[in-house]
Amino acid sequence: MADFSSGPNLKEFFIPTYILVPESEVVSVPDAPKCPVLVFINSKSGGQLGGELLVTYHSVLNEHQVYDLGEHAPDKILHNIYVNLERLKNDGDELAAKIQERLRIIVAGGDGTAGWLLGVVCDLKLSHPPPIATVPLGTGNNLPFAFGWGKKNPGTDRHSVESFLEQVLKAKEMKIDNWHILMRMRTPKEGSCDPIAPLELPHSLHAFERVSLNDELNMEGYHTFRGGFWNYFSMGMDAQVSYAFHSERKLHPEKFKNQLVNQSTYAKLGCTQGWFCASLFHPSSRNIAQLAKVKIMKRQGQWQDLHIPHSIRSILCLNLPSFSGGLNPWGTPNRRKLRDRDLTPPFVDDGLLEVVGFRDAWHGLVLLAPKGHGTRLAQARRIRFEFHKGGADHTYMRIDGEPWKQPLPVDDDTVVVEISHLGQVNMLATHDCRSKSVYDPSTPTSNEDEEEESNDEEDSVRGEEWRKFGAADTFKIPDEVDISHLS
């Protein structure tokens, strides 16, 4: 049971058991909490920190409002709680109504864990979707950093937890875009085209079978995978290094107990994978231009080819101003560049992705400079990768920190990956966060002094299959949907 003796303000976060557990004894509460929270913790994140954080939150709050993601599926937890809230509201319970209106979620883990929760909340179509705050427990921690929660693993003691809860109470709500990714290819004559992840698929990537009787392409043997992301999708050599790191961590978790050690290991793998000497060790056939044709849609219904310089070995589709531990690959183009290249400032809720390319790790290091950025390629509402037949037998991809190795059938010229805008989700952000909203009047539209000049290389109605990520077990595609053609 929670102990309020040292922190009377903790009552503002506390949810009575009968709200969380159906058929529990109803208790009388004088005042509804200002900031009721549900806490989801990946106990395996951050070495031992996830487990320690779980113990502390259990001691600070009602144990029924704190969940270990290793033991509880978040979609089932949220579904049951919201069903109970609706039942109590219908019975005239005013406390349940206020808790549902004020509810906030805290998720502690890496970017993949945070994306999993975001996908679940999006899929469940809750009547009052709760905004989400992220506790940085991973290696990159781009999501927490983008919204002001920092990128270092926090303290796990009681004082640190209480301080974080106070920040959640004061945080502002901010909508961010979420993005749907769909990948389709013919079943290869030999081998498998199933994504090869570090022992498990990313939470936000799912396979699904033929969904319509008239879906002739799938009847002929096409495989389709779909998922979603909030921060970024990347393909190429940066994802290859990430894949090596995650594979090693899955096989030897005892070696990855410390964030600094993890980051050092990541840098070493960048060297061994040839990312720092890509021109010598990376086959040119896997450079993005040689691997696939890239098309973008800047305006509804108007596809156009995107020129990719032949030296680009990694391409990044970025939604938030944070990548690779807090770096900003897009930067802030000055006013002339915005005008001449038809660009806009990078907002997290404008329905646009920033597309950036990198030649190698040295190119990436320019992001450490105050005005450094990658090769700005475009901004787009939809992006389509069409892989060249026989261009390569595999490539590497990454969604929000979770990488996989993607086999490509060499006899198939219809391998397609398409990214499109899905909707928006509510985040919690500190008032000085780096993410900017197009609806925030305090956000500058451009700044001529932000960057010196540099030489850059320079919707139709959707079916139901576009409307969910599949992050929740409750995800199901209706029979009438036909995904045989991507528009």
Mutual angle of helices 94-102 and 74-90, in 10-degree steps: 140
195 Rama sector, left if φ>0, alpha if ψ -120 to 50, beta otherwise: beta
Please give the distance of CA 165 from its chain centroid, rounded to a whole number. Answer: 23
Nearest Cα neighbor of 188 from 226, 221, 224 is 221
pLDDT tens for the chain, residues 1 to 487: 555 545 548 999 999 999 999 888 888 888 899 999 999 999 888 777 889 999 999 999 999 999 999 899 899 999 999 999 999 999 999 999 999 999 999 999 988 888 889 888 888 888 789 999 999 987 778 889 999 998 887 789 999 999 999 999 999 999 999 999 988 888 777 778 888 888 777 767 766 544 344 444 343 577 888 888 898 999 988 888 888 877 777 777 766 666 555 655 555 555 555 545 555 455 565 688 888 999 999 888 889 999 999 888 889 999 998 877 667 778 776 677 666 677 888 899 999 999 999 886 544 444 444 455 678 899 999 999 999 888 788 899 988 888 899 988 888 888 899 999 988 889 999 998 989 998 876 654 444 334 433 444 333 334 444 455 555 554 333 333 332 333 3
pLDDT for 468 equals: 57
Indicate the CATH number for domain 10-172.
3.40.50
Helix, strand, coil % (nearest 5) of the chain? 30, 25, 45
Domain boundaries, the chain: 10-172, 178-427
Helix 111-124 vs helix 74-90: crossing angle, to nearest 10? 40
Global pTM value: 0.79
pLDDT at 3: 55
CA dihedral 42, 44, 45, 46 (to 10 degrees): 140
Compute CA distances 261 → 254, 258, 268, 409, whole Å. Answer: 11, 5, 11, 37
| pLDDT at residue 326, rounded to an integer | 65
Count the neighbouring beta carbons within 10 Å of the beta carbon of residue 316: 26
Measure the CA–CA gap between 5 and 86, rounded to whole angstroms: 32
Neighbours of 16 (CB within 10 A): 21
Distance CA 188, CA 91 (A): 56
| Residue 303 contacts residue 297 (beta carbons within 8 Å) | yes
Interstrand relation of 416-429 and 172-186 (parallel, antiparallel or unpaired) = antiparallel
Phi, psi of 326 (to 5 degrees): 110, 5
